[in-house]
Amino acid sequence: MSFWFYMLSCVDGSYYVGHTDDLERRLAEHQTGAFGGYTSTRLPVVLEFAQEFPTRDDAICRERQVKNWSKGKKKALAAGNWVQLSWLARGRDRE
């Protein structure tokens, strides 16, 4: 069984990160508001990034890591801009 770390962008410009063992189901729950919580009041949401992991612990570890990132680092991750992400990771984050 695989587990997923995922990042959504919300209509208000914020980001939401989470993990799941069924990415399609979880995205549908977020889109309909059935998941509740943070994203239910910031619809629609868009999947910006997803990464597959072999264990739930690995996915949770990634979620916790990215949850503490600035908006700038999350934007760079969503864009796949590894140069910018690396630059920001070295303490050059201005957002």
> pTM for this structure?
0.91
- Band of residue 95 on the pLDDT scale cut at 50, 70, 90: low
Three-state helix/strand/coil letters over 50-84:
EEEECCHHHHHHHHHHHHCCCHHHHHHHHHCCHHH
Please determine, for residue 94, whether its predicted confidence score (pLDDT) is greater than 70.
Answer: no
- DSSP E strands in 40-94: the ranges are 45-53
Determine what percent of the chain is predicted with pLDDT higher than 70: 96
- Which of 17, 10, 5, 81 lies closest to 46 in space, CA to CA? 10
pLDDT of residue 63: 98
Q: Six-digit token pair at 15?
A: 């980001």
